[in-house]
Amino acid sequence: MTISEGNAEQLVRPGDGILSDIWDALRKEETISSLDLSGLSIKVQNGEVYLDGYLKEENQPLVESTIHSVVGVVEVHNHLRTDDGILVDIWDALWKEDAIRSLDMGSLSIDVKSGEVYLDGHLAQETNLLRIEKIAQSVAGVVAVHNYLVTDRELIIQVAQALARDERTRPYILPVNASHGWIQLGGEVPTRELQHVAEKVAGGVSCVRGVIALPRVTGESPNMQRRAVQPRIGAVVYGRNREEGVVTQVVIQPEDRLVTQVVVRSNEIRDINLVARETVVPVKDIDRVNDESVFLGRNGSSLSEYPLFDPDEFPLALFTWKAPYPYTAGEVLWSLREVLEAESRPGSQSEINPGAEIQRVPEMVIAQVAA
């Protein structure tokens, strides 16, 4: 067999020389030089190049072709990760952890963008906070992990501190409990007005998911716990044994951070044309909710019987207000009355910094939390 000069060079070139030339070629390629290659790992063995780590899918063909052009490269094996592949591997790894799967899997969300992982949601188990972050970091191709998870303990302390700071609620023992971000206030207050104040103070903590129980008013029966209902954007709405539409937005009461209504988009035929119709459905008429579906009560009205959505009556929530998990800006509406009331009163939400060192709290607040 005759070996050409070029083939002979490929056979004898050491791997470290090829690797150096590959990086030089990538830097000299104008289109590639502006890319973020920090997540890219390249190994060379016997002229075969192995690509690992993360690189955006749209940039991979150009990088591969540039590497192929380097003298001595025999073959390129592309093992680079995609965002979808990373996401699947993270969920698979979390599912194998008993403490995470049984306690917290249903109250957290994971998003992967350009190899960067974003963790959001609420955890009942404090030890799962860093455990989930470490699992995400261990998945091949992950460039960075941004942990915005909030534990119930963090949230309890923040709400208790807010109640202790407010001069109106400070005199009362108001035990605070939390379950995956849902706040329950105990204790007793003398008037409905003070009950409402406690609700507003707790709802003013920006990472509270919702306030589902209030202190008892002296002389009155205990309050019934409210429903913790959060229809997901894009969830399919079913009513009277058929698909009615999809959820496009939710209306939230800012003082307790609970969803009161959902906006549902459906299609109807009008003058031979298919047109979109948006209606407002109260949460009280919703029977069941899961991640993908919303089921209206069996004996409830059909979607066509609900009022049409009027954007003037339900404007977007104020941009200074943080929407409760799992919603984001643009998905949450307030009623017009709530917007006008919020604009007329001073003050802003208390902030919580997930993962930060928990501040020591006064003895009185500790007693409230533990009660």
Which band of pLDDT confidence, cut at 50, 70 and 90, is reported for residue 81? confident
> Structure pTM?
0.78
Task: Write out pLDDT tens, residues 153-168.
Answer: 999 999 999 999 999 9
Domain boundary among 61, 78, 95: 78
CB burial class (10 A; 0-12, 13-18, 19+) of residue 155? buried
Which band of pLDDT confidence, cut at 50, 70 and 90, is reported for residue 289? very high
The residue-averaged pLDDT of 120-130 equals 95
Q: Is the per-residue pLDDT at 294 higher than 80? A: yes
CB burial class (10 A; 0-12, 13-18, 19+) of residue 113? exposed
Task: Write out pLDDT tens, residues 334-356.
Answer: 988 766 765 565 544 444 444 33
Distance CA 122, CA 106 (A): 9
Tell me how crowded residue 139 is: count the other CB atoms within 10 A of its CB: 20
pLDDT reported for residue 291:
86
User: Same domain for 74 and 156?
Assistant: no
The pLDDT > 70 percentage for the chain reads: 85
pLDDT reported for residue 300:
64
Which band of pLDDT confidence, cut at 50, 70 and 90, is reported for residue 198? very high
What's the whole-number average pLDDT of the chain? 85
Q: Is the per-residue pLDDT at 3 higher than 80? A: no
CB-CB contact of 189 with 161 (8 Å): no
| Number of domains present in the structure of the chain | 3
Going by DSSP bridges, is the β-strand pair 236-239/242-253 parallel, antiparallel, or unpaired? antiparallel
Distance CA 360, CA 356 (A): 12
CB-CB contact of 146 with 116 (8 Å): yes
pLDDT reported for residue 13:
61
CB-CB contact of 165 with 176 (8 Å): no
User: Same domain for 298 and 327?
Assistant: yes
Task: Write out pLDDT tens, residues 247-280.
Answer: 999 999 999 999 999 999 988 767 677 778 899 9
In this structure, the dihedral spanned by the alpha carbons of residues 336, 339, 345 and 349, taken in order and rounded to 10 degrees, is 150
Distance CA 316, CA 14 (A): 62
User: Same domain for 289 and 342?
Assistant: yes
pLDDT reported for residue 127:
93
Distance CA 128, CA 100 (A): 7
User: Same domain for 272 and 288?
Assistant: yes
Q: How many residues are there in the chain?
A: 371
pLDDT reported for residue 283:
94
Q: Among 7-16, 51-60, 133-142, 143-152, whose mean pLDDT is lowest?
A: 7-16
Which band of pLDDT confidence, cut at 50, 70 and 90, is reported for residue 1? very low
User: Same domain for 69 and 118?
Assistant: no
CB burial class (10 A; 0-12, 13-18, 19+) of residue 96? exposed
pLDDT reported for residue 2:
40
Asked, for residue 147, whether it belongs to a domain, the answer is no
User: Same domain for 267 and 299?
Assistant: yes
User: Same domain for 298 and 188?
Assistant: yes
**HSE-CB of 312 using CA atoms within 13 angstroms:** 0
Three-class DSSP category at 50: strand
User: Same domain for 69 and 163?
Assistant: no
Asked, for residue 88, whether it belongs to a domain, the answer is yes
Domain that holds residue 354: 152-371
Domain boundary among 108, 142, 176: 142
Domain boundary among 54, 78, 102: 78
Distance CA 358, CA 85 (A): 35
Task: Write out pLDDT tens, residues 39-49.
Answer: 889 999 989 99
User: Same domain for 332 and 219?
Assistant: yes
